[in-house]
Amino acid sequence: MSGHSYDAENYWKANLRLILGSLVIWALVSYGFAILLRPMLAGIAVGGTDLGFWFAQQGSILTFIALIFHYSWRMNKIDEKFGVHEE
C-alpha cells in the first residue's frame, strides 16, 4: 500500500502541475493580453486594430479550446502512466 500511495501522491502532483501551467496561460491570454497588457501590445496591428482586441474577441477563445484538449490528452496519458486509468 505504501508504494501505491507514493504513486498516488505523484499522480496528483503531476495533475496539479499541469493544471497550474494551463491556468497561467488561461489568465495570460484573457486577463493579460486582452485586458491589462493590451496597451503594451497596441503596436502590433491585426486587421484594422491591435493584437489585444483580437485576443479579447477571438484569440482567448481559441486558446481556451487548445488548453482543454491539451489537458485532456496529457491527463489521459498520465492516467495510464500511473495505472489509474479506467479500462
Which residues contact other proteins (rule: CB under 8 A)?
8, 11-12, 15, 19, 22-23, 26, 30-31, 34-36, 38-39, 46-50, 52-54, 56-58, 60-62, 64-65, 67-69, 71-72, 75-76, 79, 83-86
Q: C-beta of 11: minimal distance to other proteins in Å?
A: 7
**CB-nearer residue toward other proteins: 3 or 65:** 65
* Cβ neighbours of residue 53 closer than 8 Å, sequence gap 6 or more: 38, 46
Give me the phi and psi of 53, to 5 degrees please: -60, -40
Q: C-beta of 41: minimal distance to other proteins in Å?
A: 11
Residue 83, CB half-sphere, CA atoms under 13 Å: how many? 6
Judged on CB neighbours under 10 Å (0-12, 13-18, 19+), 29 is buried
**CB-nearer residue toward other proteins: 6 or 12:** 12
- Are 69 and 2 in contact by the 8 Å Cβ rule? The answer is no
Q: C-beta of 78: minimal distance to other proteins in Å?
A: 10
